[in-house]
Amino acid sequence: MPMRDLSAGPRVLLKRLRELMAEPLEPQERLDRIVSQIASNMVAEVCSVYVLRSDGVLELYATEGLNKGAVHLAQLKMGQGLVGTIAASAQPLNLSDAQAHPAFRYLPETGEEIYHSFLGVPILRAGRTLGVLVVQNKAQRNYREDEVEAMETTAMVIAEMIATGELKKITQPGLELDLTRSITIEADGYNEGIGLGHVVLHEPRIVVTNLLNDDAEKEIIRLAEAIGSLRLSIDDMLSRREVAQEGEHREVLETYRMFAHDQGWVRRMEEAIRNGLTAEAAVEKVQSDTKARMMRLTDPYLRERMHDFDDLANRLLRQLTGFSGRAFDEGFPTDAVIFARAMGAAELLDYPRANIRGLVLEDGAVTSHVVIVARAMGIPVIGQAAGIVALAENRDPVIIDGDDGQVHLRPVADMVKAYEEKVRLRARRQEQFRALRDVDSVTKDGQRISLMMNAGLMVDLPQLVESGADGIGLFRTELQFMIASTMPKLEEQEAFYRNVLRQTAGRPVTFRTLDIGGDKVVSYFRAQEEENPALGWRAIRLALDRPGLLRTQLRALLRASAGSELKMMLPMVTEVAEIHAVRDLMQKEVQHLSKFGHSLPRKLQFGAMLEVPALLWQLDELMTEVDFVSVGSNDLFQFSMAVDRGNARVSDRFDILGKPFLRILRDIVRAAERNRTPLTLCGEMAGKPLSAMALIALGFRSVSMTPTAIGPVKAMLLGLDAGQLAAELNAMLDDTRSNASVREMLVSFAAGHNIPI
């Protein structure tokens, strides 16, 4: 049977569907009347709705024209039959003779064998397939493009009905819809710990509630104005001085501009408006259709462009809807797990700290600013969780496991119970560690080990007392710069450092001078793009090239430490000559402050970080030049082994407890002993009981780590005979013919002496 002209059909249909959605009907009755209305409006003999369940099955939920007894009984698996093919591909299927198609599957309970023409469209939301909407006729014909568009537009209404959870009432007992399916994603653990809570989308999906327009031309004008504003804002960003002429940041903006000027994108949105949608609903429809297609691409470059397109569409939606912030009807969750594609360090600190249980990122690396800040806050972090934002909704229950790098979205009850028990066990262990807080950190054979903590933010400081740390062995001063929108002034820096010293109440604090540049470029201090930023213009190199920046920080540290002790160290030192240069700048600042009557620190300790392998051939010169040396084990291992620790393919390739690196550390310890120079080590290596065992055996008597690691490391060293382990470890390191594993020896030693690791 031929269909009539649909130029006004979609608009009439959508209005009738809106009326049906507003009526106080039971879900099954509402769905039955919806399919009846669609069939009537489109002059179709059959209209059916299939909904995707969490087990990957598409179940017939309502039909007009097929056997009513097949409702909730007729089923097709994802990819099976015509309906399953549509769901799997997320694309419409328009056939004049459905039974001749190779994917056709006959369901005898439906009575559909008399129908030939077939049009099916996916029911999409945010690019996800929630079900399939189908119309059928006896006559053989192809449906027109405007009819396909009408079906896709109608499917948006059904998608919202599924998303609201209304269909749960008519879902078979023991089954769930795909939208509420439990999902586990394997990702990278960037900070250990377990977080149980509810999802908070950092950039929440904009829900378009006003779907239908009353004046198509007015909506097209609204769309054109919004697109014009969007194009101007992109052009403005590209013209700013701080945007480099080359590099990744500019490439992203150029991609935005390309999409914003794409006439095909604009034409599809205008067509959706003429079919009855508002401007924002048209943007959402085209965004969801495009995203569904691009999500199934295998080319990583094209998939990345999908993210760019998605961001651009969201910008356009915000312009049209006026949406600008994060809204929570019932207040911010007390157990929030933040989900984001990417975010800045300052944005994380905008959230109420006490409410955050974890952070999940689609992008980012272990060295990114926000990850560093999150680790300082002591919350579990997951990175490289591809596609997780599109799968989640605000307030979805979630568990993140920073130890194993897993995200469990909408977890089943048994998994929740298992993780709750795991959290209780961790809490009991933490209680045991807290009981050791005031116990002196002395090994079984009487070696006193100084356990220091790493910090960088004011939120870290309460953990100094709670953890029982002897002091702060590494205070990352760059974090203050990373979370600020403008360069902190001298007075701001001074007040910050003075506050740190006041809150630590006399315990030692080692300030590391600015380690920015390279891969830590702050927004207001842009440098040229570098192919190898970790090996580039950063830390002491940048500071010596910009002496005004360094002198301001040195002056702030000197003034803040007036009358007390100032302990500071330089990062990324490559040559001892760099230390001489900074000493000269420090002397100038001391003279300046003395000249104008400022009080000075009663004691100044000047140190350097050993992170660059070149210093291994200047060890004695280094040890005699400074008051102390701190080994930065993360970078020293990275540079020594030529391993990018942000690259998952190689970061685990070499063992930090392998003989080569342990021999390097032993040489450093021996040089410090020769020159009677105090030595410490800060880095992840210090915070794990097994590797801390090796450090103590090598001769380190001071280590600095995250606050949560102090308890486990102290529990280990209390049962450790450092002298006995040192003898065994040194014998292994001296044996050049054996390939025996140091890690296995340490594990065996701990097991044999009941040492908790």
pLDDT tens track for 461-496: 888 888 899 999 999 998 888 777 678 899 999 999
CA–chain centroid gap for 546, Å, is 33
> Within 10 A of 444 (CB to CB), how many other CB atoms are there?
15
Mean pLDDT over all residues of the chain? 85
734 lies in the same domain as 637? yes
Boundary residue ending a domain (367, 400, 426):
426
Q: Is residue 295 very low, low, confident or very high in pLDDT (cuts 50, 70, 90)?
A: low
End-to-end CA distance of the chain: 75
Q: Is residue 271 very low, low, confident or very high in pLDDT (cuts 50, 70, 90)?
A: confident
Name which of 242, 124, 578, 198 is nearest 410 in CA terms. 198
pLDDT beyond 90 at 441: yes
Q: Is residue 3 very low, low, confident or very high in pLDDT (cuts 50, 70, 90)?
A: very low
> Within 10 A of 13 (CB to CB), how many other CB atoms are there?
25
d(CA 396, CA 40): 38
169 lies in the same domain as 284? no
pLDDT beyond 70 at 397: yes
pLDDT at position 527: 58
Phi, psi dihedral angles at 359 (to 5 degrees): -135, 130
313 lies in the same domain as 449? no
Boundary residue ending a domain (301, 321, 341):
321
pLDDT at position 329: 47
Q: Is residue 328 very low, low, confident or very high in pLDDT (cuts 50, 70, 90)?
A: low
DSSP helix, strand, coil percent of the chain (3-state; round to 5): 50, 15, 35
Residue 2 within any structural domain of the chain: no
pLDDT beyond 80 at 239: no
Q: List, for residues 373-393, the tens digit of each pLDDT value.
A: 788 778 899 998 887 887 888
d(CA 141, CA 151): 16
Boundary residue ending a domain (270, 289, 321):
321
d(CA 735, CA 110): 77
Residue 210 within any structural domain of the chain: no
Name which of 101, 265, 192 is nearest 706 in CA terms. 192
Residue 150 within any structural domain of the chain: yes
316 lies in the same domain as 395? no
The mean pLDDT value for 635-650 works out to 81
CB 690 within 8 A of CB 757: yes
Residue type, 312: L
- Which residues pair with residue 122 across a beta bridge? 132
610 lies in the same domain as 739? yes
414 lies in the same domain as 442? no
Would strands 57-64 and 336-340 be described as parallel, antiparallel, or unpaired?
unpaired
CB 643 within 8 A of CB 634: no
Name which of 422, 488, 429 is nearest 714 in CA terms. 429
CATH number where 60 lies: 3.30.450.40
CB 335 within 8 A of CB 357: yes
Output the six-digit token pair for 250: 């500019």
Order of strands across the sheet with 188-191? 183-186, 406-409, 397-401, 194-201, 336-340, 356-361, 381-383, 188-191
pTM over 0.85, yes/no? no
pLDDT beyond 90 at 367: no
CATH number where 316 lies: 1.10.274.10
69 lies in the same domain as 123? yes
172 lies in the same domain as 194? no
Q: Is residue 47 very low, low, confident or very high in pLDDT (cuts 50, 70, 90)?
A: very high
Residue type, 693: M
- Residue % of the chain over a pLDDT of 70: 88
CB 570 within 8 A of CB 540: yes
Would strands 381-383 and 356-361 be described as parallel, antiparallel, or unpaired?
parallel
Residue 3 within any structural domain of the chain: no
CATH number where 407 lies: 3.50.30.10
- Out of 33-47, 212-226, 639-653, 671-685, give the one with best mean pLDDT: 671-685
d(CA 746, CA 662): 13
352 lies in the same domain as 309? no
The mean pLDDT value for 556-564 works out to 95
Number of domains in the chain: 4
Host domain of residue 161: 9-180
- Under DSSP, the state recorded for 753 is T
CB 734 within 8 A of CB 706: no
More confident residue, 5 or 705: 705
Residue 211 within any structural domain of the chain: no
CATH number where 678 lies: 3.20.20.60
d(CA 675, CA 622): 10
Output the six-digit token pair for 742: 């140091």
- Which residues pair with residue 510 across a beta bridge? 567
> Around 669, how many Cα atoms within 13 Å sit in the side-chain half-sphere?
19
175 lies in the same domain as 200? no
More confident residue, 672 or 266: 672
Residue 431 within any structural domain of the chain: no
pLDDT at position 650: 74
Length of the chain counted residue by residue:
757
d(CA 656, CA 108): 64
Residue 455 within any structural domain of the chain: yes
pLDDT at position 59: 93
pLDDT at position 243: 44
In three-state secondary structure terms, 713 is helix
The mean-pLDDT minimum among 149-158, 487-496, 515-524, 536-545 falls in 515-524
Q: What is the DSSP string of 45-79?
A: SEEEEEEEBTTSEEEEEEEESS-GGGTTT-EEETT
Residue holding tokens 């309502």?
A: 62
pLDDT beyond 80 at 216: yes
269 lies in the same domain as 400? no
Residue 757 within any structural domain of the chain: no
605 lies in the same domain as 480? yes
Residue holding tokens 């701190």?
A: 630
Name which of 386, 392, 401, 374 is nearest 202 in CA terms. 392
